[in-house]
Structure 1
Amino acid sequence: MPDIVHIGPAPLSPLAAQEFVRMRDGVRLATDVYLPEGDDAAGDSILIRLPYDKVGVYTFIPLIAEYFTARGYRVVAQDVRGKFRSEGEALLFVNEAYDGYDTIEWITQQRWSNGRVAMWGDSYYGYTQWAAVSTQHPALKAIAPRVTGTQLGEPVRRDPASRTSGVEWAITYLYPLTYFHSADAYFWDLDPDRRPFSDQVEEVLAELGSRSISYDQWYPRPVHLRRFPAGSPFDARPVPTLHTIGWWDNCAPLSWADVAEIEKRPAWAHSHFLRIEAMDHESYYLDDPDADRVEERTEDQLRAQLPRMLDPALDFFEVFVRGNVSAADIPRVSWNLAGTPGMRSSDSWPPAGAESSTLFAASGGGLVTQAQDAATTATWTHDPLHLVPSSVGNAFAFLLDRPDEQALGDRDDVLVFTTEPFVRQVDLAGPVTARARIHSDGPVMDLFVRLLDVAPDGSALRIARGQVQLHEATEPATVEIDLGQLGYRVEPGHRLRVHVCSSDYPEFIPQPGTGAEPWSAVETRVNRQSLAVGGADGLSVTVTVLRQAQEPEEQP
């Protein structure tokens, strides 16, 4: 039985007055109101709706509210329905649309509100912004979602007409058991050596004495949740949006999927502004000094990062909430070329001057610019009892550790392909994809492809990744792998490397090798995996190279 850590609500902030805001069905949500000191007039408000405790250490909302109120904003921070001090049932995603609308309506009726509301927040409290947008409250003037997506937490669903699908995150099953079991939060570690994983969940639920509705809705048969009962946010009236994505955010694929949806709608695209930074989901940055790479940051460390985190949103709100600055002064795309200081700007993503360039795996382990004529087959094993480990313990905080993945390439179950050292710097800016011809002696095959920057000392930093699951895998198939988007400078003397393997545990649920559903599987079997190298179907990786040099316009 795993140890369970129970976290309840933290003490209320002395800077705020707690209110209980009534929703349309009578449920009351605990809501903190922070007002600018000495300012009794009505003003603009920033709403933050989150499930992580509105006064908890993890999200440090009181410090954020203090920063916003210093700029004259009224800040409203709310525990979502069923969480911490709020009433109602803890249920993932489905109540956020109308609860957001009702909270905005309540704000507009307060003496300290002038009727203009913005929203801000990361991850789930970025999702609550999209949910509120879907209900089209006229008082919502701008949003600033960070590291999030409208399909956050959506289980992988396979199209029966396709042989491929996504690979399921373990967090998909664990998140409903941690933050959405009930009002408080409960944390425990999955034991990789005990199968089935589903039995460990049942032990935890028995110990807690109650079930998680959200878990039962997702497993064993996922229920289609009405996330947006008023309709998709992208079918709603466009709201000016500052959309922040991290190069190392493990949820970035969800963000980029939303960008693709927005680009299909001209009115939304006109209201959409993109900001891409060299950070992960927990706002650790590539260029953080080692002293700031700590799991529990001090108050001084948190305060020091607030300008970097909040100033872009404040500048955005100055335009679209207060109307004090022209929208022409906000770049359509602000982005950091990782490995360089400052932010660059462009009118679109990828930026002008970006061109595709393809690298091909070679039989000797090379990564070259022209495919070999001769086709060979590279093989490796997938052993469910000896899995390729995830490179960090917390997938949401990759840059906390900024791990060196060189040693993973020494494993027998990881294929490695590497370029020669670069003779000049190369700037990568845009999508990264891979193409591979694969098969297995097992019925289901997971393929993980990682792109790394290898320094002259041999250390290897992962800069892009993607994965795909192949069904009926005994029959060969050509698969396309989306490795996401990339903004990164490869320095002279460095090399690019590709790692290929079939597991990444515990971040992704591993295949048992038998074709059984992996969360409940007991029996395991070793599979032999095969990959074409060279020839027309050989493994290739296509990157986007910025041929036109750009200089940063915004210094850190």
Structure 2
Amino acid sequence: MIFKLYQSAICIGEADLCGAPQFRFCAQDSGEWGPWAPVAPPFGAPELVPLGFDLCLIAENVSQMAQFFASVADGETATAPWGRRYTRRGDALLGRDTKFCIDLWFDGGQPFAFCAANLNCTYVLVREGMEQKTVLAAWERAGVSAPEHKAVFHGTEMIAMRDGVHLATHVWLPEGTNGPLPTILYRTPYNAMMAKNHCMRFVRRGYALVMQDLRGREQSEGEFIALGSERNDGSDTLDWIAAQPWSNGDVGTIGASYGGFVQWEMAASGNEHLKCMVSQVTGGTPFQDLPRRGGTLMCGMLPWAAMMSTRCLDLKSRERMARDDWDEVFQMRPLASIPERIFCEKVATWDAWMREPTDSFWLEPDWRRGLGARVPVMIESGWFDDDHQGSMSAWDVARNLPRDKRFLLLGPWLHGGNSQRDSHGHPLGNDAIVYELDLYWQRWFDQHLKQRNMGFAAEQPTRYYMLGANEWRTSDTFPPEDFCTQTFYLGDGTLNKAEQESGTVCYCYDPRDPAPHIVDPSENEMSVPGNYREVEQRSDVICFDFPVTQELEIAGYPEIEFYAASSAVDTDWVVRVTDVDEAGNSIKLGENIVCARYRNGYERAELLTPGKPEKYALRLGWFANRFAAGHTLRVHITSSAARLAFPNPNTGEPIAQSTDCRKADQTVYFGGLYPSRITFSVKD
């Protein structure tokens, strides 16, 4: 019983699951087959370890699958004898309650295919001859470039940047092509060669591939300081590619997180060779996203900065992130000294981030000031992506492009993206995983780099997932055009469609006892769909509720204007929107944070006059959610988010150097002269 393993619709292996299971790998570059070998832990074969596809799980349990499938009713969720949980839907068992789901597909009651997706690609292990019953058929129908070339390594070159620093740049070319080629550029701080496994597909389909380690990373010269140098280095790299004899001068880029940020920095340079981008869960500008969102300092970025403090992404760097004492580390003061105290050395990125928002260091990473609006872009993000503000800024830049030059894909995903149907005990729905995500990327490149008609003009350029309904929808833009703005006014513990009589709500904020932000720092996810039920019982969290009596759909980014005073000269404000069910579970949807001294912008700090009401305006994270009848639409306000942002000490001192803190009496005003309100995009 031979099964073929496909990665992004390219065959990379075969498995014989009869008797003693065996596997042989097909090299992703040359297409040459290796020898058969027994399936063995941890993933079945050494070549599968970097892919994360667990062939062992399948091989060890395939004999039990038909019986288990028959025992599960359609729509039922059950635990298999091998410990994994699945929901049956028709002829499939869909993986649940794990970060990386493997779905089981059946034909005539027998397993014939196993599918797993992630942010970068989809894997399909399918019985030979049954490929057309899987997502592989969609690739064939799409008519994308065929994987008909071998990938030939052209070498690693140390290319010079304008300041003389040389960056390690790895080049692959498709064998048997004539004439100059379009190029896919992948720039990363995470070891470019580690991404070879999911980037070879582009070379196999007729593109030149350039993968580059950023300044100060791996073999590249210089010092890595996150957010620095990316615009010039990216533009210089584009010019170098265009000057090569194998290049036709047209370059497309792809990358996630920081790999998205570097793309937008390239776009901001206005370089003419950048023809299109695939922006995945992109990092944003420093004050809208990370590390200084709203002028605060995001403590959730310290584990990342620690991991990136070594030149190479290795065991040492990962150990720096995977500590079990981050809560204790986050309490060390002053903040600027933390790396020296826990690692006995400075961290250049952390030192740079200690600069106040008014420092000129922060000007260059604001790619919204550049020329990126002219570059065709596909933007992918998730409602629970901790870089969601980055993708929101990207959409601000791209939303007015012609329809065939923008595509927005918004799923129920975390930053890791497209691999799970449940997070922190919260179900995201059977359709939370999209098998065709990598097909979208391929179609985009073929459309804009090879001028092939990939059908985007006939599609709605926005595809988004409606939580609660747990279904995908399409629209021309986002917020969707069939949603309209509706204002809700804050009242005495209530949200109301009518303006309210004047009043106040007060609480005391103690930086030594900050309200929790639900997250595990070592998980490297800072925006999970956490349940804030217990947090909202605290005296320093105030809630405003709108009981939902009939189904209510909201899709967009809520914008809140509220009036508040503090007894301190500086403080923070945190606002969240949650969906509260009949049992009182309060699931976070959108949120944001602002440091009071930067309420009027980041060009200058303006301390508060104690007791004086000030107006604050925040755009919360985007989401699409159906609130069921009987649920409650809730807005809560507090002044801290432990594990997300370092607590504001309320002293007015620069947070990086502060060692003291004091309590603050906070007052939120509503009604009359202070009409605190929040606007949502609500379904007509």
1:386 aligned to 505, 510, 513, which one?
513
Code of the residue aligned with 1:245 in structure 2: it is: S
Q: Report the equivalent of 1:195.
A: 333
**Secondary structure, counterpart of 2:669 in structure 1:** strand
**Secondary structure, counterpart of 2:621 in structure 1:** strand
Code of the residue aligned with 2:637 in structure 1: it is: V
**Secondary structure, counterpart of 1:413 in structure 2:** coil
Cα distance between partner residues in 2 of 1:398 and 1:176: 14
**Secondary structure, counterpart of 1:247 in structure 2:** strand
Cα distance between partner residues in 2 of 1:344 and 1:41: 42
Cα distance between partner residues in 1 of 2:566 and 2:362: 37
Q: Residue deviations 1:425-479, cap 9 Å, x none? A: 2221223122222112222121111110112232221111122232314311232
**1:180 deviation in Å?**
4.8
2:534 aligned to 387, 390, 407, which one?
407
**Secondary structure, counterpart of 2:199 in structure 1:** helix
2:353 aligned to 218, 222, 225, which one?
218
Q: Residue deviations 1:345-375, cap 9 Å, x none? A: 3233322232222223332x333333432x3
Q: Is the 1:437–1:477 Cα contact (8 Å) retained in structure 2?
A: yes
Q: How many residues are treated as equivalent by the alignment?
A: 508
Cα distance between partner residues in 2 of 1:418 and 1:231: 37
Q: Report the equivalent of 1:314.
A: 442
1:336 paired with 2:465, answer: yes
**1:527 deviation in Å?**
1.5
Deviates more, 1:426-435 or 1:324-333: 324-333
Q: Report the equivalent of 2:615.
A: 478
1:259 paired with 2:391, answer: no
Against the structure 1 CA distance between its residues 34 and 336, is the aligned structure 2 distance closer, same or farther, given a 3 Å change threshold?
farther
Against the structure 1 CA distance between its residues 541 and 292, is the aligned structure 2 distance closer, same or farther, given a 3 Å change threshold?
closer
Against the structure 1 CA distance between its residues 229 and 350, is the aligned structure 2 distance closer, same or farther, given a 3 Å change threshold?
closer
Note the residue ranges of structure 1 that are not aligned, 5 or more in a row.
1-10, 159-163, 294-303, 548-556
Q: Report the equivalent of 2:489.
A: 360
**1:12 deviation in Å?**
11
1:377 paired with 2:377, answer: no
Cα distance between partner residues in 1 of 2:294 and 2:515: 20
Against the structure 1 CA distance between its residues 283 and 156, is the aligned structure 2 distance closer, same or farther, given a 3 Å change threshold?
closer
Deviates more, 1:85-94 or 1:487-496: 85-94
Cα distance between partner residues in 2 of 1:130 and 1:508: 25
Q: Superposition RMSD on alpha carbons, in Å? A: 3.8
Cα distance between partner residues in 2 of 1:180 and 1:196: 19
Cα distance between partner residues in 1 of 2:483 and 2:288: 32
Against the structure 1 CA distance between its residues 12 and 85, is the aligned structure 2 distance closer, same or farther, given a 3 Å change threshold?
farther
Q: Trace 1:376-525 onto structure 2 (pairs within 5 A).
A: 376-394=503-521, 397-398=525-526, 402-420=529-547, 422-470=548-596, 471-472=607-608, 473-525=610-662
Q: Is the 1:154–1:172 Cα contact (8 Å) retained in structure 2?
A: no
Q: Report the equivalent of 1:247.
A: 383
Against the structure 1 CA distance between its residues 371 and 383, is the aligned structure 2 distance closer, same or farther, given a 3 Å change threshold?
same
Code of the residue aligned with 1:432 in structure 2: it is: P
Code of the residue aligned with 2:517 in structure 1: it is: S
Q: Which has the higher contact order (CA 8 A, sep 6+)?
A: 1
Cα distance between partner residues in 2 of 1:525 and 1:292: 36
Cα distance between partner residues in 2 of 1:389 and 1:40: 57
Q: Is the 1:409–1:416 Cα contact (8 Å) retained in structure 2?
A: yes
Q: Is the 2:177–2:206 Cα contact (8 Å) retained in structure 1?
A: no
Cα distance between partner residues in 1 of 2:367 and 2:538: 48
Q: Is the 2:213–2:220 Cα contact (8 Å) retained in structure 1?
A: yes
Deviates more, 1:221-230 or 1:19-28: 221-230
Q: Residue deviations 1:136-186, cap 9 Å, x none? A: 44443211112225524789999xxxxx96433235666555415645545
1:128 paired with 2:262, answer: yes
Against the structure 1 CA distance between its residues 425 and 66, is the aligned structure 2 distance closer, same or farther, given a 3 Å change threshold?
farther
Code of the residue aligned with 1:382 in structure 2: it is: Y
Q: Is the 1:181–1:213 Cα contact (8 Å) retained in structure 2?
A: no
Note the residue ranges of structure 2 that are not aligned, 5 or more in a row.
1-48, 52-150, 597-606
Cα distance between partner residues in 1 of 2:616 and 2:240: 50
**1:525 deviation in Å?**
1.6
Q: Is the 2:300–2:643 Cα contact (8 Å) retained in structure 1?
A: no
Q: Residue deviations 1:71-114, cap 9 Å, x none? A: 44443322111102222222333332343234334445667655
Against the structure 1 CA distance between its residues 44 and 432, is the aligned structure 2 distance closer, same or farther, given a 3 Å change threshold?
same
Code of the residue aligned with 1:122 in structure 2: it is: A
Q: Residue deviations 1:205-261, cap 9 Å, x none? A: 6x23xx444433332456524876999774368221112232222322233234334
Cα distance between partner residues in 2 of 1:458 and 1:413: 19
**Secondary structure, counterpart of 2:414 in structure 1:** coil
Q: Report the equivalent of 1:301.
A: none
Q: Is the 2:555–2:682 Cα contact (8 Å) retained in structure 1?
A: yes
Q: Report the equivalent of 1:147.
A: 281
2:476 aligned to 347, 350, 357, which one?
347
Against the structure 1 CA distance between its residues 80 and 388, is the aligned structure 2 distance closer, same or farther, given a 3 Å change threshold?
same
Q: Is the 1:433–1:541 Cα contact (8 Å) retained in structure 2?
A: yes
1:28 aligned to 166, 170, 178, which one?
166
1:47 aligned to 185, 193, 198, which one?
185
1:281 paired with 2:415, answer: yes
Code of the residue aligned with 2:530 in structure 1: it is: P
Against the structure 1 CA distance between its residues 465 and 157, is the aligned structure 2 distance closer, same or farther, given a 3 Å change threshold?
closer
**Secondary structure, counterpart of 1:390 in structure 2:** coil
1:62 paired with 2:190, answer: no
Against the structure 1 CA distance between its residues 141 and 406, is the aligned structure 2 distance closer, same or farther, given a 3 Å change threshold?
same
Cα distance between partner residues in 2 of 1:67 and 1:390: 39
**1:382 deviation in Å?**
0.8
| TM-score, scaled to structure 1 | 0.79
| TM-score, scaled to structure 2 | 0.65
**Secondary structure, counterpart of 2:360 in structure 1:** coil
**1:121 deviation in Å?**
0.7
Q: Is the 2:227–2:365 Cα contact (8 Å) retained in structure 1?
A: no
**Secondary structure, counterpart of 1:434 in structure 2:** strand
Q: Trace 1:35-114 onto structure 2 (pairs within 5 A).
A: 43-56=181-194, 61-108=195-242, 113-114=247-248
Code of the residue aligned with 2:494 in structure 1: it is: G
**Secondary structure, counterpart of 2:337 in structure 1:** helix
Q: Report the equivalent of 1:3.
A: none
Q: Residue deviations 1:303-324, cap 9 Å, x none? A: x979454222212112111111
Against the structure 1 CA distance between its residues 432 and 12, is the aligned structure 2 distance closer, same or farther, given a 3 Å change threshold?
closer
Q: Is the 2:424–2:530 Cα contact (8 Å) retained in structure 1?
A: no
Q: Is the 1:426–1:545 Cα contact (8 Å) retained in structure 2?
A: yes
Cα distance between partner residues in 1 of 2:186 and 2:632: 43
**1:341 deviation in Å?**
4.7
Against the structure 1 CA distance between its residues 429 and 145, is the aligned structure 2 distance closer, same or farther, given a 3 Å change threshold?
same
